[in-house]
Structure 1
Amino acid sequence: MSATDAVVAVENLAKRYGEVTAVEDLTFRVRPGRIVGLLGRNGAGKTTTLRMLLGLTRPSSGTAAVFGRPYAELPRASHRVGVSMEGVGPTPGTSGRRDLKIWAKTLGLPAARVDEVLHEVGLDDAADRKVKGYSLGMRQRLNLATALLADPELLVLDEPANGLDPDGIRWLRTTLRRLAGEGRTILLSSHLMAEVEQTVDDIVVIQQTLRYCGSLDELTGGGTRRLEDCFFELVGDPSRSQTHA
């Protein structure tokens, strides 16, 4: 698959902060209509990679493109790409509904879309409560609602299951599979190996640089091996990487 055909194309991407290398010579592509899990230890460069993809962090070298272009050059980028990640959060002091209305107005969307996404993420009953009183799981649902507002083709989700209880995790899995079934592409980072194993089609494993990019089935032998075991074979023994814990 060529870089122009890929929904996401990362080519020789690197980010250095002085003498510290966060990402080094990273290359991978994301096919349309797939759920792709971006896996790595804490400090492996997952969030940095997503931030470079979205134009929030400038690469030291290499390129990152969505739909064939850098995010900053993509027409209607905020409509085509929905984002849920730290730093892209609600307006302080607002309710869930009010925050989504602000986003909807900014994006030029009808106010009716707010109620649709609130229902979609299960926040109907909490919509008029202040976001500062939300649990972490409720904030995750609100973040996903914000990402879905413009009905995007691509979702970029940084640790979307963080803070969700078992019911919430199951709901998220079902929701993501439904969205992919509608033709959307989803790139998500996560630490929850067992959940990723039940959700994604493809896997990208990084530890500063690429360790694996391909289908989940290929990596796990069609489910004959656990994803967690495969992951640690690729990134090394966790007992030797205490600084990343």
Structure 2
Amino acid sequence: MADKADRDARGRVVAAATDGACSGNPGPGGWGALLRFEDGSVEEFGGSDPATTNNRMELQAALAVLERLKELPRHPDLRLRTDSKYLIDGLGSWMAGWKRKGWKTAAGKPVLNQDLWQALDRARLPDVPLAYVKGHSGDPDNDRVDQIAVAFSRGERPVLGASGSAPAAGASAPSALEEAPAPASLQRLLSRLELADRLAQGGYGLTAVELAQLVEQPLARLQDRDGPWRWRDWWVEPLEEGRRWRLQRAEAGSEQN
């Protein structure tokens, strides 16, 4: 009952991201994942494997998120964001052919990572499409899951965002890194501020879900706003009757009319 109450309080999942990492490829690997909820809360989890590949860690991360999402209410705009074209192409293009050929490639060889592909095929959710995001491009959620995956691949135990319920099977519980260069919360904030600057300079428009992810505010709160408002060093301006938003760098001491 308590778990259900926590889920209800957090609202729907509005964003999801995964990443995998491996040292040596093959070698020790790790994966990381996060979910964002309408109330602004974040759930992070991850795991490791002492002998694996980067591709297997990418698939394991996606599998863990999909299995977790089955238990949670999901926003209709939810996408599972990943920098793995291997994952996207496998689920979106290659799998149908593999299955027709009895899980063989066009060359007649057994499909690599077949166990994880078959598990992903069973776990996929029709309402949660995959979306590609370029790795190491300043995207805050991609950067964060990369940090989690790399830490696990190195045998470290990263500090993970609080979850409202038990993490996915195989995930590791939170525990502090002994010599972290900076608190995880500060690292995430710096990444978000850098991204905000790039968005403002480029004049890009953001959906309400993307803006909620950036400013870490509940989606419902953003949908209630009908005019410009200030977030840290930027003005947030509504476009298209509030369906999209744009950031504009605020001058020191300025107030918008």
Bucket of the pairwise TM-score, normalised by the shorter protein: under 0.3
Instruction: Give the TM-score normalised by structure 1.
Output: 0.25
Using the size of structure 2 for normalisation, the TM-score is: 0.25
Q: Which has the larger radius of gyration?
A: 2
